[in-house]
Amino acid sequence: MTTFYVILVALLLTLALFDLFVGVSNDAVNFLSSAVGSKAFKFKTLLVFAAIGVFFGATFSSGMMDIARHGIYMPQYYTFAELMCVFAAVMFTDVVLLDIFNTLGMPTSTTVSMVFELLGASVAIACVKILGDSTLDLGNLINTAKAFTVIMGIFLSVTIAFVVGLVVQFVTRLVFSFGYRKNLRFFVGIFGSISMTSIFYFILVKGLKNMSFMGDGYKAFLGQYENELLLGMLGGFFVICHLLHALKINVLKIIIALGTFSLALAFAGNDLVNFVGVPLTSLSSLQHLLADAGNPADYKMAFLLKSEPGQWYLLMFAGITMVAALVFSKKAKKVVQTSVSLASQTSSDEIFGTNPVARALVRGSNGVAKFISSKIPESFRKKIETRFDTKQMILEEDGAAFDLLRACVNLMLASSLIALGTSLKLPLSTTYVTFMVAMGTSLADRAWNRETAVYRITGVLSVIGGWFLTAFAAFASASMVAIVLYFGGLPVTFALFAVVIFVLVRSNLKYRENKKDKTAERFEKILVAGPETKVYPLIRDYSRGEWSEVLRWSADCYEKIIVGFLREDLGKLRSVHKQIKILKKHIERNRRHGSLCSERLAQEDLVVKNFFLYQANDFMGDALFCLQQISFSCKNHVDNAFSPIEGNDKRKILLRSAVHVKSLVEETADMVETMQFDRYESVRDKLRAEGSKIFKERKAEMMRTNSDNIRSEMLYLTILYESWALIDAVCSVAKASKKFLTTKPQTLSASI
């Protein structure tokens, strides 16, 4: 039996490698988003700072945290076999759960996932124990106070970080404005000393506190001379920052580099337990079991009440793994991009849609803002507006989401708040603090304007909702897995391990396939294009690809609707109806992208081009509306089991229409994609001819004697009318796309 547990511990240590990889992918947003968003350094250079911090933080970390040993459950009441079920359930659940969030590009808290997985698994095993022993109760077996403290920490960290970020960034922008360079010589000492002191204090308190080489003497020294240390750093950095500025060295970049390093160091040193704490606890448990020659079924785990340091070689290997994950993980970049996109000062590809809550918040906020604005004197309001003039904004590189000043504030505040929480022994999450600080500073900088606010708020609500979903999913999943492992034994354990590995491999392979989509890459090139870049060719390539794809998609949906209706295939009609909903989101995204593209075109003075870009996207929406009308009517008719259309002639006309319309729309798509507009007149004439046939058939049908089946007759006329309207919309798309893709650019002066 002992051999089984040796194998199980080996499996858990193997899963720890996967957990490190997916965990770093998720938590990379904590220390990379500010530097990535401001483009203070090249990404490879930035990875060097972060990798050094991650490696040293992991290698010299104590590697163990009491929460993994006795923070959630009371180990003295559990046997070795019972806790091994808990540990296995936590690891099986954790790697899959974090991988799901990474794939979706949603940052979540690894601390909360581990805590609630431990809580769920230990509660499940505790319930089994209580059923077998009436003298036990849940209060004895579970440390409920710790879990409640973590939950309260979530609410506190989210609110405090957002409010502090909002207030501090507002004051900072009042002092510096968006054209911060002209005021930097006066305030660089004060701003730099406060920022660097916050970051170095964060390194000393949060980053080095749990390092294995730091003994009690260091902690005693820090506690005794903390105030003197802070004053000394403030004065020293004040002088250093002015000297660096006098030497033409960018102090803000130094702050960002130090901030990135400090957060990476603290992340690896303190959050490492989220990934390897449970496997190392299981290894420690096995070592005690073997040393005492105990029986797994009745060997009590009271020794877990004491803390133990982790083995240095395992911690070093964990550090190497974390660095590799940071460098090679594609999902890490996606998670970072989510945070950067939500905080972007400039227009960006809004990756979230809207929801009623976000819309209500935007409307309410606009009303409150108008009320407050009306109470502020006009002269004072104008002075404030001059400090928030984004036309003066200084970006380090083209395509940066925000400036260096905001990046510094993000890192300074995140470091300060986490250090403060540590000193007060509050369970702050680095993910919560860094993300909400970034959201608060972006709101203060008015990055959430009338055009983007609803998308940004939806994104923030989605991310926050994901945090709470993490807690619920972690608790429920781990508890179920623990029960299955407890009663399933060896076969189920190995089967679940195989399933977890399969899910991870499949997820990464599928993610790579999705990354092959070149549409997002083409649009990204448009967003990061500088003033000197010829944007029109980029937008042209992007637009023709999108329009041709939508046209082919529409043609396929149209044929499936008609065929499904004639065959009374409800399953196919429902499937197409879902596809049309997806197509609607796709077209709405194209319209948003079109607005962003038009801003770039405006820089080249392509007024006429903008008009046809808008037109093509609007006509795509018209075509979609026709498909929606046909799809809803046909699905509703078949779903209610109404009588089918009478007469073979009508059925043949609809079937012929399905084949011909699909063929013609696909031909239009080919013409747009290849930009062979010498075929335009031929394609247009074919479309008009087909539309004319359908229109004549509808007119003739209306002149015939009324059918006994009025419902089917009305549906037949609806299909014909919407089919004709669909063809007309496709004709308009072809014309607008031809004008946009081939007509020579006309400047404003030329058009006047």
Final residue of a domain: which of 512, 528, 544? 512
Is residue 258 predicted with pLDDT exceeding 90?
Answer: no
pLDDT value for 705: 57
User: What is the 3 state secondary structure string of 149-176?
Assistant: HHHHHHHHHHHHHHHHHHHHHHHHHHHH
Q: How many Å apart are CA 468 and CA 218, to the nearest integer?
A: 37
Is residue 31 predicted with pLDDT exceeding 70?
Answer: yes
Q: Do both 565 and 499 map to the same domain?
A: no
Q: How many Å apart are CA 506 and CA 617, to the nearest integer?
A: 36
Q: Which two tokens stand for residue 356?
A: 């009623």
Q: How many Å apart are CA 572 and CA 440, to the nearest integer?
A: 47
Q: Which two tokens stand for residue 695?
A: 């229109």
Q: Do both 490 and 547 map to the same domain?
A: no
Contacts of 570 (CB under 8 A, 6+ apart): 564, 635, 638, 639
Q: Do both 212 and 326 map to the same domain?
A: yes
Whether 69 is in a domain gets the answer yes
Phi then psi dihedrals of residue 209, to 5 deg: -60, -40
Which of 106-110, 372-376, 593-597, 724-728 has the least mean pLDDT?
106-110
pLDDT tier at 354 (50, 70, 90 boundaries)?
low
pLDDT digits (tens, 9 = 90+) for 628-646: 999 999 999 999 888 888 7
Query: 87 versus 217: which is more confidently predicted?
Result: 87
pLDDT value for 750: 39
pLDDT value for 309: 62
Quote the number of domains for the chain. 2
User: Is 265:56 a contact under the CB 8 Å cutoff?
Assistant: yes
Query: 326 versus 651: which is more confidently predicted?
Result: 651
CA atoms 702, 704, 706, 708: torsion sign? negative
pLDDT value for 647: 77
* CATH code of residue 735: 1.20.58.220
Q: How many Å apart are CA 545 and CA 639, to the nearest integer?
A: 36
pLDDT value for 745: 45
How many CA atoms lie within 13 Å of 377's alpha carbon, on the beta-carbon side?
3
Whether 376 is in a domain gets the answer no
Whether 425 is in a domain gets the answer yes
Whether 392 is in a domain gets the answer no
Q: Do both 180 and 300 map to the same domain?
A: yes
Q: How many Å apart are CA 92 and CA 81, to the nearest integer?
A: 17
pLDDT value for 46: 82
User: Is 634:716 a contact under the CB 8 Å cutoff?
Assistant: no
The residue behind tokens 């979706």 is 104
Q: Do both 13 and 96 map to the same domain?
A: yes
Q: How many Å apart are CA 544 and CA 363, to the nearest integer?
A: 36
Mean confidence (pLDDT) of the chain: 80
Is residue 554 predicted with pLDDT exceeding 70?
Answer: yes
DSSP string covering 237-289, please?
Answer: HHHHHHHHHHTT--HHHHHHHHHHHHHHHHHHHHHTHHHHHHHHHHHHHHHHH
In degrees, rounded to 5, the angle at the alpha carbon of residue 427 between the alpha carbons of residues 426 and 432 is 115
Q: How many Å apart are CA 434 and CA 426, to the nearest integer?
A: 16
pLDDT tier at 752 (50, 70, 90 boundaries)?
very low
pLDDT above 90: percentage of residues in the chain: 14
Final residue of a domain: which of 489, 512, 535? 512
pLDDT tier at 142 (50, 70, 90 boundaries)?
confident
Q: Do both 507 and 532 map to the same domain?
A: no
Please give the model's pTM, rounded to 2 decimal places. Answer: 0.70
Whether 671 is in a domain gets the answer yes
Q: Do both 170 and 197 map to the same domain?
A: yes
| C-alpha torsion 356→357→358→364, nearest 10 | 110
- Residue 637: which domain range? 520-751
Whether 296 is in a domain gets the answer yes
Whether 386 is in a domain gets the answer no
Residue (of 92, 144, 101) closest to 119 by Cα position: 144
CA-only gyration radius of the chain, Å = 31
Q: Do both 548 and 484 map to the same domain?
A: no
Mean pLDDT of 258-269: 78
pLDDT value for 681: 92
Cβ neighbours of 632 (radius 10 Å) = 15
User: Is 367:138 a contact under the CB 8 Å cutoff?
Assistant: no
Q: Do both 475 and 527 map to the same domain?
A: no
Q: How many Å apart are CA 96 and CA 638, to the nearest integer?
A: 41
Phi then psi dihedrals of residue 506, to 5 deg: -65, -40
Render the burial of 435-449: b for 16+ CB within 10 Å, e for the rest.
bbbbbbbbbbbebbe
Mean pLDDT of 590-602: 74
Q: Do both 321 and 249 map to the same domain?
A: yes
Q: Do both 496 and 564 map to the same domain?
A: no
What are the distances in angstroms from CA 129 to CA 146, 391, 483, 511? Answer: 21, 66, 11, 41
Whether 371 is in a domain gets the answer no
Q: Do both 46 and 177 map to the same domain?
A: yes
Residue (of 470, 501, 478, 493) closest to 89 by Cα position: 478
Is residue 531 predicted with pLDDT exceeding 60?
Answer: no
pLDDT digits (tens, 9 = 90+) for 497-521: 888 888 777 766 655 545 445 556 6
Residue type, 657: S
Q: How many Å apart are CA 493 and CA 604, to the nearest integer?
A: 63
pLDDT above 70: percentage of residues in the chain: 81
Final residue of a domain: which of 488, 512, 536? 512
User: Is 439:343 a contact under the CB 8 Å cutoff?
Assistant: yes
pLDDT value for 630: 92
Q: Which two tokens stand for residue 245?
A: 């500025």
Contacts of 541 (CB under 8 A, 6+ apart): 522
Best mean pLDDT range from 14-28, 62-76, 689-703: 689-703
pLDDT tier at 748 (50, 70, 90 boundaries)?
very low
Is residue 213 predicted with pLDDT exceeding 60?
Answer: no
Q: How many Å apart are CA 683 and CA 94, to the nearest integer?
A: 55
Mean pLDDT of 329-347: 66
Which DSSP category does 61 fall into? B
Coil/strand/helix, residue 41:
coil
